[in-house]
Structure 1
Amino acid sequence: MPLSRTASLLAIYPHITSRDRLLLQLLDDHQVLTTGQIHRMLFAARRTCQLRLNELAALGLIERFRFPRDGGGSQPWHWTLGHHGRRFQAAAHERLEPTARASNQTVQRLSANPHLTHLVLTNEFFVRLAEHARWHGEARLDRWWSEHVTHEQFRTITADGHGLWSAGGATVGFFLETDTGSEALGSRVVAKLAKYATFIRETGARYPVLFWLGSEQREEHLHRLLPGQHTSVPVATAGHAADPAGRVWLPRGCSSRVELAELPSDHGQPVAANPNYDDGVFLL
């Protein structure tokens, strides 16, 4: 039975598992995940995932929305924190408790955000890494930072995300630029390299910038534009269809693809973790 918006959080505690807490934290950090993304990271069976999400929604911990697909059918359910989920996360991180009105407005703004597709696609990149690590014991997603946290930590960097990926005995830091095809490659995408060049000069950290592109044509076009453009910045590209953990990355000036863990990465001055965010993505 759904709980009222003024119900005590203590009444919900007996229903919250450790996996639920991880999901609430992921939604707090990254705003929205689809049913499929949650299933691949946290559940073995899709039906079990669907049933549990509905139970959490009945408790007011999460909410869902979706839109119709052009041409027929529906998009997948998109899940975000519900009012009680936002209250729980606020208590966990010693933030002010949101009002029911504020929680409702947050969901409405997220669902109507014109950049929602870009956000879900960016999260998909990290979900695939987390899924790979879940089934490959030698691999680990050590850090998954959102655009907001990345900017908070690095200040001058406004990447779509930042991560640390470990595999094969190597740890690679990277910045992610998710391309949906809406920006001009020359005037907007390549121009982003200037801020990374400045970051390298100021910190000594040389994290590869990963351009995740929607088509082979845009990838080829981008590589034609790269020569002579901020050569101090390591750049690699791959397509949306690829497993980002695999041998799919084409570094600047190279003719063969490499795995993510094989990209050169110099951490320079260590970056402290956000005190309100756990670096690790620990999957059940």
Structure 2
Amino acid sequence: MPPSRSPGLLALYPHITDRDRLLLQLLDDHQVLTTDQIHRMLFQARRTCQIRLGELAGLGLLDRFRFARAGGGSHPWHWTLGHHGHRFQAAAHQRPEPTLRATRQRVHRLSANPHLPHLLTANEFFVRLTAHTRRHPEARLRRWWSETLTTRQFRTITADGHGLWSVAGTTVGFFLEADTGTEPLGRVVAKLDRYAQLTRRGGPRYPVLFWLGSEHREEHLHRLLTGDVPCATATHTADPAEAVWLPAGATGRVSLAELPSDHGQPVADNPNFDDDGDLAF
């Protein structure tokens, strides 16, 4: 007989709800989310969210960390998969089961990663779109791909994420460049060369969305955009689903669903998504 799994995981199954499964999948795909982000996507009441996250941590399905805030207090909890969460996801997707040591190392590396703020910023973009769909039933976030999956599927580019956004029958694809102000704008614009290469080899001509930390930085970036690659800008203060996007060379802002989008040749989908591109279990 094959060796059995380490004890404990099957006993957790009666405690895992459909919402828990969705949260485990989101953390498997996107590594880390804050309490507030999880609340806006999956819960009505913040207190209910906090209680449930604590229960999932007690079951070993989630782990968490947070940092001290300058001047006193702490930043919000950052949630990631715990050891049993990694085991559950490995079983669900037929991956090798991780060891406890490997799980701990993954959490330590994630918490100490200097690029963690950038990852949270990129995730926040998609969290806001997801939260928007809860208030607007006609809208759907049909695809949310991480930087890793986007790079694997499209190869040429290294976007911070890729999505498909649908409103009332119109579907727009996009690539996200989540800007935290740490790179010179010349280097930011230089990334567009890779998107042009993708289009030349038959890939989709999706708008590149530059999500920026300030209006000042947005204004300066527009002076550098040539329009060779479709792109648009907005700031972190805006709801990315609304009419906040300023296309290169334009004077008026449009909504995400109004941006031009050419899907080009199809790419192989992630097995975690169904035929419609929606998150599947």
Which residue does the alignment assign to 2:195?
196
Which residue does the alignment assign to 1:112?
112
CA contact (8 A) 2:272 2:279 kept: no
Q: Which has the higher contact order (CA 8 A, sep 6+)?
A: 1
Describe the shift of the 1:281–1:248 C-alpha distance in structure 2 as closer, same or farther (beyond 3 A).
Answer: farther
Give deviations 1:259-279, integer Å, cap 9, x for gaps: 000000000101221124553
For 1:183, the aligned partner's letter is E
CA contact (8 A) 1:29 1:146 kept: yes
1:158-169 paired onto structure 2 within 5 Å: 158-169=158-169
Q: How far is 1:178 from its partner?
A: 0.5
Give deviations 1:100-139, integer Å, cap 9, x for gaps: 0000000000000000000011000000000001121100
CA contact (8 A) 2:32 2:80 kept: yes
CA distance in 2, matches of 1:103, 1:232: 44
For 2:254, the aligned partner's letter is V
Which residue does the alignment assign to 1:35?
35
RMSD: 1.3
Q: How far is 1:233 from its partner?
A: 0.8
User: Scaled by the length of structure 1, what TM-score is found?
Assistant: 0.94
* Among 251, 276, 284, the residue aligned to 2:247: 251
CA contact (8 A) 1:61 1:84 kept: yes
User: Scaled by the length of structure 2, what TM-score is found?
Assistant: 0.95
Q: How far is 1:157 from its partner?
A: 1.2
CA contact (8 A) 2:147 2:161 kept: yes
Segments of structure 1 that go 5 or more residues without pairing to the other structure are none
Which residue does the alignment assign to 1:232?
228
Aligned identity (percent) is 74
Which residue does the alignment assign to 2:263?
267
CA distance in 2, matches of 1:95, 1:42: 26
Instruction: Report the secondary structure of 2:268's partner residue.
Output: coil
- Structure 1 segments, 4+ long, off by >3 Å, are 276-279
CA distance in 2, matches of 1:265, 1:127: 22
CA distance in 2, matches of 1:280, 1:220: 35
Instruction: Report the secondary structure of 2:176's partner residue.
Output: strand
CA distance in 2, matches of 1:267, 1:35: 34
Segments of structure 2 that go 5 or more residues without pairing to the other structure are none
For 1:172, the aligned partner's letter is V
CA distance in 1, matches of 2:63, 2:12: 16
Aligned pair count reads 274
